[in-house]
Structure 1
Amino acid sequence: MTVDFTAIDFETANSHAASACAVGLVRVRAGRVVERAEWLIKPPAEHGEFQHWNIKIHGITPDMVEGARDWAAQLPDLVDFVGSDIVVAHNAGFDMGVVRGSCAATVSPTPKFRYLCSVQVSRKTYDIPSHRLPLAAAAAGYGEFHHHDALADSEACAAIISDAALRHGVDDVTALAKATGLRLQTLKAIPLKL
């Protein structure tokens, strides 16, 4: 199997899309993870409040991101890691919303990522009661993992896409989208108000 892509997952400090506080990235080549990266992100001050509920979910606190790079400073590394890959994320609307919102809040150029949602792929691939990440990953044969850890979540997402490609008999993400009746989306910037 030659399926190549990058899986991504963000954790946020609060409910605002521009409050990214962690990212996990997994590069997949021929259906196998070949490189991993993760780092903390310091949210912009105007979106930097860490809500109790978010901390309870992912365990990241304000003190942990105090010395981390902000969105604009880490964005080139994120873009370099993805390169020309198609990006996949579990509930991609959320993760791509984080990219859009964070770029808008920091007046940074929005990368034009092409992306596919593994929740949607899961719905077209597995007959399971819920397509939440732990259940979809289990259906893909991926073992237990630390859910809401950005790197662990991106690896679980990668397992779903790789397994779905096998089940659908395709060898790239574009063909997987077509086989499941989905479309690759392209990330677009939030229009600036003049």
Structure 2
Amino acid sequence: MPVDFTAIDFETANSSGASACSVGLVKVRDGRVVDRAYLLLKPPFPHDEFSEWNVRIHGITAEMVAGATTWADFLPDFRAFAEADWLVAHNAGFDMGVIQKTSEAFAIDVPEHPYLCSLQVARKTYHLDSYRLPSAAMAAGFEDFSHHNALDDAEACAAIAVHAAKRHEVDDLAALARRTSVRPGALGRRTVREQAAAHGPMALQ
């Protein structure tokens, strides 16, 4: 079914949610990918130490982001890319937490978006032994991508949301959330208030 949204994925330098070191964005219109964006990010001090564990996972080092843009500088481009979209992420609480904590670290306003977790949607759509992104993406017909590359992960996440919408015969993410009984989340104070007013506090993650 023709759904519109922006899928997003972050990699972080360490265990801090404010240590975003890369971001991948995939814009979906009418159920098709129409735009992609990827860039390295320089984490804000004091969240800028790169842990050996995280580097082993995603391969990004402090040297690689030394001259990179920051989330604060990228935010206008993010707003232009995502527009007023619903955001989709796999294990969305992590990625939305990165947006919130990194924005707070830079003392800038948190972007306003409703969001949906493709991990939770996958649990209500497929019967799998594992619902990690590679397994869920394979169930959606999206294979052979580089897991922990933020752009590839965002595209895999987008494929899950598009495939799930088709399977559940819905044409927007609000309907997908209702059909799968997955509670949508809200990012930003205004969006939190609006969702609470429309659905009550139990509608929010």
TM-score (norm 1): 0.95
**In 2, distance between residues paired with 1:96 and 1:167?**
26
Match of 2:80 in 1: 80
**In 2, distance between residues paired with 1:57 and 1:182?**
29
Shift of 1:51: 0.3
**Alignment of structure 1 residues 31-180 onto 2, 5 Å:** 31-180=31-180
**In 2, distance between residues paired with 1:79 and 1:57?**
28
Paired residue secondary structure (2:28): strand
TM-score (norm 2): 0.90
Q: What is the alpha-carbon root mean square deviation over aligned residues?
A: 0.8
**In 2, distance between residues paired with 1:55 and 1:80?**
30
Paired residue secondary structure (1:49): coil
Residue segments in structure 2 that go unaligned for 5+ positions in a row: 190-205
Paired residue secondary structure (2:46): helix
**In 2, distance between residues paired with 1:188 and 1:86?**
12
Residue segments in structure 1 that go unaligned for 5+ positions in a row: 190-194
Paired residue secondary structure (1:33): strand
**1:115-140 C-alpha deviation (Å, 9 max, x unpaired):** 00000000000000111000000011
- What letter corresponds to residue 33 of structure 1 in structure 2? V
- How high is the sequence identity, in percent, across the aligned residues? 59
- What letter corresponds to residue 181 of structure 2 in structure 1? G
- In the TM superposition, structure 1's runs of 4+ consecutive aligned residues that sit over 2 Å from their partners are none
Shift of 1:77: 1.0
**In 2, distance between residues paired with 1:155 and 1:133?**
11
Match of 1:187 in 2: 187
**In 2, distance between residues paired with 1:46 and 1:75?**
20
Match of 2:26 in 1: 26
Match of 2:10 in 1: 10
**In 2, distance between residues paired with 1:50 and 1:79?**
27
**In 2, distance between residues paired with 1:34 and 1:150?**
17
- Deviates most, 120-129 or 65-74: 65-74
